[in-house]
Amino acid sequence: MSKLWGGRFTKSTNELVEEFTASIEFDQQFAMEDIEGSIAHVTMLAECEIITRDEASQLIRGLKIIEEKINNGLVDYAVENEDIHMNIEQMLIDEIGPVGGKLHTGRSRNDQIATDIHLYVNNKTKEIIKLVESVQAAFIKQAKANIAVIMPGYTHLQRAQPILFSHHLLAYFWMLERDKQRLNDSLQRVNWSPLGAGALAGTTFPINRERTAELLGFDTVYPNSLDAVSDRDFVMEFLSIASIMMTHISRLSEELVTWSSQEFDFIELDDSFCTGSSIMPQKKNPDVPELLRGKTGRVHGNLLGLLTVLKGLPLAYNKDMQEDKEGLLDTVKTIDGSLRLLAPMIETMQVKQDNMYNAVDQDYSNATDIADYLVTKGLPFRQAHEIIGKIVLYAIEHKKYLLALTLEEYQSFSNLFEEDIFVVLEPKHVVDARNSTGGTAENQVRKQLQQAEEVLAGTSTS
């Protein structure tokens, strides 16, 4: 098969080179974007009288026939045609004859693939935003259902202070909200049109780049043709946002795995999101969160891979840039699958309220409240801190928790202690005492829930 670009060459491409350089195996996923861009380009060419209206009609009709065939799985892509652009162009020539060769007038594969990727990232970003919102909704649902459930809060993976489980869940809501904001903000840079930049220097044809940008829904055109064909900042930005999002998902997954263990036994994931052991029949493995945690590494790797590819490239387009696609496609697939699994897994999670409360009731995480108690009695915090340290050490040595100590034992450390210390140490009191904005008091969490619901509904004014 002769190449569509083969006029300058006297030898056929080495078969190994052909296989090594072909991108059709993965860039066929841009087929719809490629056809969309081509239809806009042809429409503009006819409006600018670069091709006739009849030629444009034939080209658009042929492209829509090919689009239908692709959607129905009736297309075989050829490695010899290298990429999605040349495959579609060859199909078009086969479908409508030599006029199909006019499709490429006034553009290059360099601006064509850049356009495809811009359209693809735009579409996928909007889809991912919707999926993020479904996970946020699952967090809100679980938080509302468990609004008053008390659990240990941790720092350094050591029990620190009692908190509400709903408060803990909503921390992930806000992480995802920032991810969503980053995705929305990135669309400003995704929606630049490179179409019409040509190979690197523009084109001699009197095209109208603003018109194709309008037809494709772009906000603006690249002002510089070199930048237009060589820019992959928007892909790096997408991969960066995806990496941050997967880090958030991985942190959550780690907690789900930990909370599911017998040692914690705070939650139980639905059977449909777990697997068993081939040899140990008692096992219920949290495979989904484990894999979510594991797949974070590949998303991080895709970002690092593209950064490495681009770091030494001169302007404008270089074949190295073919390596921008597989990591992008893999990341989109990973993020999409992760979010689709995460929402129902969170929504169906069983919360073991008693186990969480018992953990708080049998530790020293209310120690800070004793210090605060002494401060309200007039003692400087640093002195109070020292006293409480001694009380905790005494309680540990006597195998008692703080609520189990007697008033006499407390007064042996300070005569400021009174009977009301036992009210202060109750887990619910400890939680509700943290009534500052954004705190874990139930009153504050209810306000936070309302804010989260308003943000998700798009009605928040904050």
Encode 367-383: b = buried (16+ Cβ within 10 Å), e = exposed: bbbbbbbbbeeebeeee
Q: Which helix (H) or strand (E) holds 159?
A: strand 158-164
DSSP string, 377-404: TT--HHHHHHHHHHHHHHHHHTT--GGG
> Cα separation of 175 and 359, whole Å?
26
């059709």: which residue's tokens? 24
Amino acid (1-letter code) at residue 152 = P
Catalytic site residue 186? no
Give the angle 228-230-235 at the CA atoms, nearest 5°.
95
Vertex 206 angle, CA 204 and 211, to 5° = 130
How far is residue 54's CA from residue 34's CA, in Å, rounded to a whole number? 21
What is the DSSP annotation of 251-306? HHHHHHHHHHSTTT--EE--GGG-B--SS-TT--B-HHHHHHHHHHHHHHHHHHHH
Burial classification of residue 461, based on how many CB atoms lie within 10 Å of its CB (0-12 exposed, 13-18 middle, 19 or more buried)? exposed
* Element spanning 140, H or E: helix 109-145
Q: What is the 3-state secondary structure (H, E, C) of 1-39?
A: CCCCCHHHCCCCCCHHHHHHHCCHHHHHHHHHHHHHHHH
Q: Does residue 277 have an active-site annotation?
A: yes
| Residue that is written with structure tokens 């006034």 in the block | 106
Q: Look at residue 150 and give its three-state secondary structure.
A: strand
Q: Which of 2, 156, 272, 436 is catalytic?
A: 156
The crossing angle, in degrees rounded to 10, of helices 109-145 and 233-260 is 30
According to DSSP, residue 219 is labeled S
Give the whole-angstrom CA distance, residue 422 versus residue 405. 9
For residue 64, give the nearest of 30, 95, 26, 98 by alpha carbon: 95
How many CA within 13 A on the CB side of residue 117?
29
Maximum pairwise Cα distance, the chain? 100
Q: In sequence order, what DSSP letters do the residues of 313-368 get, joined into one string? A: PPSS--GGGGGGHHHHHHHHHHHHHHHHHHHHHHHTPEE-HHHHHHHHHTSSTTHH
Tokens 């990727």 correspond to 117
**Catalytic-role residue among 57, 261, 277, 460:** 277
Positions marked catalytic? 156, 277
